[in-house]
Amino acid sequence: MEKSKEVNVTIVTSGPQTADNDLDQLIAAGAKVKYLDVAKLLSTGVQHAKLWTVDNQHGYLGSANMDWRSLTQVKELGVFFKDCPRLATDLSKIIGAFGHVAEPGIMFPINWTSEFTAIYNRTNPMKLLLNGVPANVYISMSPPAFRPPGREDDLEAILHIIDSAQSFVYVAVMDFQAAVKSYSGKPDAYWPDLSNALIKASFERGVEVRILVSHWAHTSPKLRHFMKAIRTLHGVNGASLRIRFFVVPVETPEQRAIPFSRVNHNKYMVTDKTLYVGTSNWSGDYFKFAGGAGFVVECDEDHISSKSAKCLRKELEEVFLRDWNSVYTDEL
């Protein structure tokens, strides 16, 4: 709030505008707040991306909402980077695109100006040195209706990463359902894009697939059925398809009383070649109708400059295996 009095602070948040003490105080202090009402624009959906940029130098992309529970009561994962103007500028373009869509009177298809056009994508990634390791990097975005020219589609980025894996795909996500979920009382639509890609990778290429989903107070009863549908092909044609549920323990009455907390909320994937850190749960409605973004890194692990340098992909693999092998998981 103090910074809002000293520097330009712009926030793009879910609309429509409602009474919000924190945002109201920020506005009073000088912050500019834009309300992106995705459901009004696309008939359903929400602004779900969690992104920060500072001075076009530093940034964050990850699963954490800007809420005290996310920082104290929920298990989150994100990427923070500093002193990287190319990456920060590109992430600022995505935040700017969401802000542009939030402007009154926006019409579809959007007539994007050049300031929002992405230079970097899967076919033309940034060449960066991340923690001393050469890497190809780009940022993807959803939904398609909000995506400016040149920007990689979030779902297409994930599918390409799965299709490119040679030995393993590890996925950690709060919710994974082969459906476009309906919030209007209509039946859900079947949507097997991601589950089919994982099954195909393991069934046809022998890729080891591990999926770590969350179990908490608000887990849909459908989740276990969707996971069983994937797990049922384990061992067929040599496929390796394993699923575990991660449970964040509730240890005190005070913790139990906090709503929408005590959950593994992260959304990421790591393969033998690539890491992906995103903001969306893995169901079709997120990729079709929710504002989201993904951070994709492919490290050149054959050219690490020093023994102290460590590839981000390897770090994320170790995080996944730590959680997978922890006492907080139960295997399906």
218 among known catalytic residues? no
The answer to whether the CB of 311 falls within 8 A of the CB of 299 is yes
The answer to whether the CB of 197 falls within 8 A of the CB of 314 is no
160 among known catalytic residues? no
50 among known catalytic residues? yes
Q: 139 forms bridges with which residues in the sheet?
A: 295
55 among known catalytic residues? yes
- One DSSP character per residue, 139-207 reads EEEE-GGGPPTTPEEHHHHHHHHHHH-SSEEEEEES-B-SEE--SSSSPPEE--HHHHHHHHHHHHH--
Spatial separation of the C-alpha atoms in residues 321 and 144, rounded to whole Å = 33
Supply 15's token pair. 């609309």
- Using DSSP, state whether 14 is helix, strand or coil: strand
Active-site choice (55, 67, 300, 330): 55
The answer to whether the CB of 263 falls within 8 A of the CB of 74 is yes
Length of the chain in terms of residues written? 332
Residue matched to tokens 């505008």: 17
The answer to whether the CB of 61 falls within 8 A of the CB of 279 is yes
Active-site choice (93, 265, 267, 288): 265
- Residues with catalytic roles: 48, 50, 55, 265
